[in-house]
Structure formats: structure tokens, C-alpha cells
Structure 1
Amino acid sequence: MKKISLYLLLLLSINLTAQNNSFSPGELWKDTDGTHINAHGGGILYDQGIYYWYGEHKGESNNAYVGITVYSSNDLYNWKNEGVALAVSKNPNSEIVAGSVMERPKVIYNTKTKQYVMWFHLELKGQGYEAARTAVATSDSPLGPFTYLKSHRPNKKTWPINYNEEWKKTPKEGEVQEWWSEKWYKAVKEGLFIRRDFEQGQMSRDMTVYVDDDGKAYHIHSSEENQTLHISELTDDYLDFTGKWARVDPGGQNEAPAIFKKEGIYYMITSGLTGWDPNAARSFKASSILGPWISLGNPAKGKDSDLTFYSQSTYILPIQSKKDTFIFMADRWNPKKPIDGRYIWLPIKFKDEKPIIEWKSRWKIN
């Protein structure tokens, strides 16, 4: 009788810890400890057969009080909590002190320096979203701990490569003061904010990073008061900007960039500008990462596609074992209870050389 009871307990234990074998977008996604994954606005690094998911640790506030978390997986369905990759600082003078904003972390590996490099959007404590900085940290291990290096506004005193010479000078009549007017929209496209921020560096909010086939890395971020995307080349060690950069869709109000490459063509999916509220996604393609980029419209199709299934893009994940197979990663934000934010992972298909995202309540990679 005792053996039967132990056997039943063992079966119950196995059942309670049963592994996931599919994706269920929008549902609670528990890690191997049975706790909802806490890695919002995240990105994935694939390293030596293991996927690492880095994201924002959320509590009851959107500010950072723990730091950047990391999870590991070998199948993408089941994730082990590996702890905090980059912790907030206890030093009140640190830029990443508790109460700052640390968003959208992305980690890439530099084969020359043998370092793991993390970039993320940083807002300084007590300043709301005024700082608009990008920050970098490094580690010798994908699990961390990462060492915080610095933050700054990129591309200080440099002009983008796709910029007209006449736009460098302030108009004779002065800069437009009235926002949202027809003249203001025209002025934004012609570099209003680039001129304003030229000396201190350009704003950097929602961001991602991308390593190309040749090892060159690029930092893609929302800038110019979130009116225009910037794509910037990083230095060979991935720790700084070379000063070579381009604007994408000036005045188009794109956030949450996510980029991938298929058959030599670069694709990018973004969101519109509606704060924490969802909106219709956008998509673009280019034959060169620095552009020009061509608009392809909303990649989401079907019911709730006008709200991107109530989510916002964060990363495009290429599946290592499946050629030209990509997962659209997005967050379903819950600003009133950030810790309960859900994850929307969906397959990307192609039709007429355009990325297509359709809702699936449950699906598998194969």
C-alpha cells in the first residue's frame, strides 16, 4: 500500500511539473519553477545550443527595482529562471539606481572580444522619460553578472548619411514652435529635432540591436521625440557608435523596432505611438540595413490585427534549426499591474514578399 501511495505521489509530481510542448500566446507562461516568466520587453540570444531570454523585471511599477532578468531554454517552450543578469545599483549616484527605468534589453556576443554585450533603454530616476538614453553593459558569461559601463545619447555632433545639406542650417525664420501643425510635421521631416539635439546627441528610447552576417552590429532606436527611427552602426567591440547612422521613416512615429533578415533582405516590424495602449503594427523592408526602407503596411492579419492582437513588438527570433523560420515576439502590457504583462509569440509567414502574422491560440514550431 505504501509503494502504491509513493507511486501515485510520483505520478502527481511528474504531472505538476510537466513540460510545455507548445506556445499559448497571452496565457500565463510559467517557468520551470512554476512562476510566470518576468522578462518583459525582451530579446533572445542563442549561444552554444542554448537560448537566453533577457527582459525587464516588473513588479507593481514600471520602474526598475530589481534589474534585467535572464532565462535559459533549449526548446523555447520551457524556460529556467537564471536570476538577475544586471541588477539595479545600491549606489544612489548610479545611473541604474533602483527607481530608474531600464527597458528593452538586448544581448549580443562579440566574437573578437569574447564578451557578451547588453544594450538597453535607460531613463534616469526621477526624470520621467526626459533623459532618453541608451546604456551598455558587458559580461564574460551569458548569465552575467553584467557590469554596467555607461549611458549616453548617441551620434553626438554627427549628421545622418541620408540628410540633405540644406537641412543642417536653422531656417531664417527660426524653428517652428507650434507642435502638431502642418509646418511642424514638415520641420520634423527636415531635421527639426536633429538640429536641436546635435550638440548633446540624439534621443534614444525603444531600441533593439542586430548583428549582420559580416559581424557588423547595429543599434536601432526610436528618436526625435519618438517621431523617427534611427539605425546606427556600432564599433567593432559593440560598445559605442561609429557615427555612421541613418533615419528611417522621418515623422512616421515608430516605436518598438524588431529586425530580421531573410534571403538577403532586411525586414523590420514596429508599432505606432500610443503609449501603453496597443495599435496597428507596421512593417518595412530594405536591401541595405541603412536603407532606404520601404513601407509594407500592417503585417498582422485577421481579428484584432488593428491592435496587433493587443500587443507591441519587442524582438524577431530566428529559429536556429529551421531555415527562414521566425517568431514574432511581443508584449501585452498591463500598466496597472506590470508584473502580469503577458507574452505574444506568433509565427511569421510570408506572402508576396511581405511578412504576415496571424493569431494562433496554440501552436508549435513544426
Structure 2
Amino acid sequence: MARLFSEVNKGRVRMRRIRRKLSPFPFNNAGGRFSLSVALWTCVFLIMFIYFFTYITKRTNGRLIHVHPNHLSVAYELEEIEEEPDFRLPSAHKRNPRAVKRRGPKKPSTAISKFLDESSEIHSMFFPDRSLTVGLKVENSSSSSTGYFYPGQIWLDTDGNPIQAHGGGIFFDARSETYYWYGENKDGATYHAQHKGTARVDIIGVGCYSSNDLWSWKNEGIVLRGKERNMTHDLYKTNVVERPKVIFNAKTNQYVMWMHIDDGNYNKASVGVAISNSPTGPFTYLYSMRPHGSDSRDMTLFKDDDGIAYLIYSSRENIDFHVGPLTEDYLGLTGVMKRILVRQHREAPAVFKHRGTYYMITSGCSGWAPNRAMAHAAASVMGPWENIGNPSVGGNRVLRLTTFFSQGTFVLPLPGIPGSFIFMADRWNPSDLRDSRYVWLPLKVGGLADEPMDYTFGFPLWSRVSIFWHKRWRLPEGWKNVN
């Protein structure tokens, strides 16, 4: 009898094991061990939910974000991805064996080297002649092309002359509802100060153009002129003036311009300051200085919503960026400075803000040769800043790795389309700098960033920044105020 009861008990245990294996609930299959695992994952999920809800609430000041259908339809027009076929480099010519022996094997050509070679087919493809121009004064233009941007083509002002505003930025004057585009006038002969020195043009000055629609631009003239005879002046013609940016100071009622000031050998590495009572100048040059006692090369200004303005500049031979607030009159710097993007070797900063987050587009350091852009994001303009990936979208692989053969200089918000901006860039032509072109493309903030975060546990706190390639595009109707 005892033996019979033993067999029955073994059968019951076996049946209980079978039932556990067939249970559809994983936390019942292995007892407390799986129950604990589920509980832990539930806690993690709740913590993440509370974290992101708090973060978003903080970013929007507790307000709900309403997205109007018109905003979405307009944004979709700017976000269309336009692909391009890959480039095919022309076959190399056979070299004389004696030349190979004397000079060594020739380095293989790349798309960038062909782009920089003014005799190549690729160069002419990216710098089309005057038969392809943009602007009101274009001969044989039709109404179908009016208002369209053609990145890389010659852009004419309202007088029919090519716009000269390189490395520039745009200031919007709310009082007159007018946009002012300031930039380097390079309408001079290109030369090399030294045998292997960088290509350059004598200082002509800072040009200014005005517009109400961002497409047709009136030439307002040279608002800060170079000096022909005073060899000791920062603006003497053989020196360097680059990347001028203008902001308005409501307390002093002055327009303030900051710019990169250098000598012909790029040893001065300073910033210069000028002021004016009018956005169309003339600007009075005040002085130059090395900000925070550091060398300064590519730079930009950023004015925040609270009226505080910041200088962001490449320093320590382009190893890092430095950032610091300006004084209340915007004519100097406070003693506060932070190093950002340390040892990343970046230049050409363009800073903008969207829903409480600060974004920046930078380029690598490769002279006049184009390279891959990088987008960065931060919760404070003083940093720390994180890399969030290459913003270039569309085109082909080479276009994306060269920022569409251009280098950024400014990012302009479109007030009527939340999260939409214009990425302003220069397509440099070192063989003839006056013929450098403008590449303006739609930029959008939204979606998940490409690269992992540096210090945020891998959570995708920052939205992706996307610059969309288009051969031909226009601003949607109502971009100033979409209802």
C-alpha cells in the first residue's frame, strides 16, 4: 500500500511540473525568480515614463504642444527626400613611365579633389556658369522659377549682380519686418600670399542686403569698409575679415557686429567689434581682441530669448570651441567662459534654438575643402554639448559626407513653421573666391538622433536635426505665419 501511495505522489509532482511548463504566463513558469524580473522591468518602465514626462513638461513650461494640420502639411513639403545618382569619376589618363619614375605614383583622384580642380568636369557641375542664375533680373526667366532656391547656382540681387555676402548671417528687424543679410564681399582677385598659403581676397568689406521674402535681395552696399592705406588698421586690405554677425541691443538702441579678425598669415586670431545706429550702416569699427585671452578663428553670435548674447568661437588652433556671454551692451565679454566640444577639431559654428533645446551645426577642419557636418545639442548654451549625428539627408553618399559640397554659416528660423529652419552654407571656390556659391536648404528638428549620447544613459533626449537636399525648392506659402 505504501508503495502505491509513493507512486501516486510522484505522479502528482510530475503533473504539477507539466502544468507549469504549459502556463502562458512567464512569471508563473519559474516562481519568484521571474516574478522579481518582471517587477524590476516594471519599475524601470515607470521610472523612464516619469523621467520623460518630467523632461518634456520642463521643456514646454508645462504647456501642451498643439500641432496644427497646416504646420504638418507645410513641413512635409520641406522634408521630401531627394536622391541623386552616385558620382562617376572620369577614368584616369595613362602616365608616361618616366614621369611615374621621376615623380612617383600619382595619388588616386577623389570627388573632393576633382571638385577643387577648376579644370575638372565635376568642378563645372557644382559651379555652373552664368546661364544658370537665380533672381529677379535673370534673363529669360519664367514665373515658374520665381521664388525657388537653386543651391549652388549664381544668385543675383535686385540689380542683377551676384550677391556677395559669404560666411554671413541674417538679422531680422522686427520693427521694419525686414531681413538683413550680412557677409564678406569677395568681389576681388583671388591670390596666394605665400607659395603654399591659403587662397584669399583683399578685404573689400562687409556687404549688406535686405529682403522681405528671403529670395529677392536688395544691395544696401558695403556697411563696414576695408582700409586701403592704413597698414596698422585691423581692416587693412591684406588682413582678414570673416563670418560677420549682427545683433540688436534694445538697451543701447545699437546694431552690434562681431567678426573674425586676422592677419594674412592667420596669426592674430582675434574678434572685432563694430556698431551702427542703422541696420544698413555705416558701422564704426571699435577694436579687436583675443576673447578670454584665447585665440579665436571661426565664430558666431547667438542671442537668447532673455536678451543675453553669447560668443561661440573655435580656439586652441581649432581643437575646441569656447563659449561665453557678452556684456549687457554687447560690446565686450564677461569673465565667464566654458570649453565645449573639447578636442573635436570643429569649426564654422551655427547655433539655433528649438523648444528650449540649443542646437549647433559645425564642420570639420579641412581648409576650403568640404567635409562632413555634425549636429550637436545641449540643454544650456554654455554646455555640455553632445554630438547627435550627421544632419545631411538625401542626395548621395558623397553629398552627405561633404555637406552637399558646402560649409555652414548660419541657421535661420522660419517663424510660421515650428521646428523648421533654413540652413545657410557657402560652397567655396578657392580657385576664384568671388565665384563661391550659396547653398540654402530646409532644416528640420524632429525624430530620433543618430548617435548615442555622451552622458545621458543612452536615452534619446535630443531630437534629430535633418538638412534635406533639393536641387530646386521654395518656401511654402504662408511661411511667415501659418495659421
Partner Cα separation in structure 1 for residue 225 and residue 401 of structure 2: 37
Measured after TM superposition, the shift of residue 29 of structure 1 is 0.6
Q: Which residue of 2 aligns with 1:139?
A: 276
Moved more, 89-98 or 333-342: 89-98
Q: Which residue of 2 aligns with 1:50?
A: 178
Can you list the C-alpha shifts for 1:293-344, whole angstroms capped at 9, x where unaligned? 1110111123110000000010001123433321100000011100000000
2:354 is the counterpart of 1:228: no
Can you list the C-alpha shifts for 1:258-317, whole angstroms capped at 9, x where unaligned? 010001000000000111100000111001110111110111123110000000010001
Q: How many residues align?
A: 308
2:242 is the counterpart of 1:103: yes
Q: Which has the higher strand share?
A: 1
The answer to whether the 8 A contact 2:169-2:245 is kept is yes
Measured after TM superposition, the shift of residue 115 of structure 1 is 0.3
One-letter amino acid of the counterpart of residue 142, structure 1: P
One-letter amino acid of the counterpart of residue 299, structure 2: M
One-letter amino acid of the counterpart of residue 365, structure 1: L
2:285 is the counterpart of 1:148: yes
Q: Which residue of 2 aligns with 1:159?
A: none
Can you list the C-alpha shifts for 1:66-115, whole angstroms capped at 9, x where unaligned? 10000000000110111001001242221111121000000000000000
Partner Cα separation in structure 2 for residue 344 and residue 111 of structure 1: 32
- Over the aligned positions, Cα root-mean-square deviation in angstroms equals 1.7
The answer to whether the 8 A contact 2:165-2:182 is kept is yes
The counterpart of 1:337, out of the listed 419, 427, 432, is: 432
Q: Which runs of 5+ in 2 are unaligned?
A: 1-136, 191-199, 449-462, 477-483
2:209 is the counterpart of 1:209: no
Q: Which residue of 2 aligns with 1:23?
A: 149
Q: Which residue of 1 aligns with 2:189?
A: 60
Partner Cα separation in structure 1 for residue 471 and residue 422 of structure 2: 14
Structure of greater Rg: 2
Partner Cα separation in structure 1 for residue 219 and residue 142 of structure 2: 15
Q: Which residue of 2 aligns with 1:289?
A: 381
1:270–1:330 Cα change, 3 Å: same
2:411 is the counterpart of 1:316: yes
Partner Cα separation in structure 2 for residue 301 and residue 215 of structure 1: 33
Q: Which residue of 2 aligns with 1:172?
A: none
2:222 is the counterpart of 1:84: yes
Q: Which runs of 5+ in 1 are unaligned?
A: 1-11, 156-200
| TM-score, normalised via structure 2 length | 0.62
Partner Cα separation in structure 2 for residue 17 and residue 57 of structure 1: 29
Partner Cα separation in structure 1 for residue 225 and residue 201 of structure 2: 13
The answer to whether the 8 A contact 1:63-1:102 is kept is no
One-letter amino acid of the counterpart of residue 240, structure 1: G
Partner Cα separation in structure 1 for residue 322 and residue 254 of structure 2: 25
Partner Cα separation in structure 2 for residue 114 and residue 209 of structure 1: 18
Partner Cα separation in structure 1 for residue 252 and residue 305 of structure 2: 17
Percent identity, aligned pairs only, is 50
Q: Which residue of 2 aligns with 1:305?
A: 400
- In structure 1, the residue corresponding to 2:431 is in which secondary structure? coil
One-letter amino acid of the counterpart of residue 400, structure 2: S
| TM-score, normalised via structure 1 length | 0.81
The answer to whether the 8 A contact 2:364-2:373 is kept is yes
Q: Which residue of 2 aligns with 1:6?
A: none
The answer to whether the 8 A contact 1:206-1:221 is kept is yes
Q: Which residue of 2 aligns with 1:239?
A: 331
The answer to whether the 8 A contact 1:66-1:98 is kept is yes
- In structure 2, the residue corresponding to 1:328 is in which secondary structure? strand
Can you list the C-alpha shifts for 1:181-216, whole angstroms capped at 9, x where unaligned? xxxxxxxxxxxxxxxxxxxx1011001100000000
